[in-house]
Amino acid sequence: MKSYLFVLRKPAHSGAYVQEMLDIILITAAFDQKVSILLLDDGVFQIKKGQYPEKIGMKDTSAIFNALEIYDVNDIYTEVESLQERGLTCSDLCLPVQTLYRKDIAGLMKRFDIVFPG
C-alpha cells in the first residue's frame, strides 16, 4: 500500500478543479490506498462552514468532504498560517483538521510516497 498526500490550494467553488480532485481522492481511497489531504492557501475555504454554492450555480462539495471518513480518509491537515491569513480558525471548518506550521509542511510531505501538488 502506498501513502498519498493530496495538496489542495484553490478555493472552494473555483470551477471543476475541486470536484475533479475530490473524485481522484475518492478513487484512490477506494483502492485501499492510504490517502491524506493538505489544505493550503485558499484551499482552507474548501471546508469552511456555512457556504451556499448553489446560489451561484455551483455544486456543493461539502457532502463529498463529509463522506471522506467512509473511505478511511481521516487525516486532513491544514497550515496555521493559511487559516490565520484568511481570518479563520479550526472552529470555522466543517471537519476536524490537524494543524501544522508552515515550517513543518516539508517534513509532512516527506512522510508520503506520492504527493499530488495542488
Q: Per-residue DSSP letters for 68-105?
A: GGGGT--EEEEEHHHHHHTT--GGGBSS--EEE-GGGH
Best-predicted range by mean pLDDT among 8-12, 28-32, 49-53? 28-32
pLDDT over 90 (residue 93): yes
Cβ atoms within 10 Å, residue 25: 23
Q: Which helix (H) or strand (E) holds 8?
A: strand 3-8
Euclidean distance between CA atoms 102 and 19, whole angstroms: 26
Q: pLDDT band at 14, cuts 50/70/90?
A: low
pTM for the model: 0.90
Secondary structure of residue 49 in the 3-state scheme: coil
Q: What is the pLDDT of residue 4?
A: 98
Euclidean distance between CA atoms 49 and 82, whole angstroms: 16
Determine the residue type at 38: L
Locus of grid cell 504527493: 115
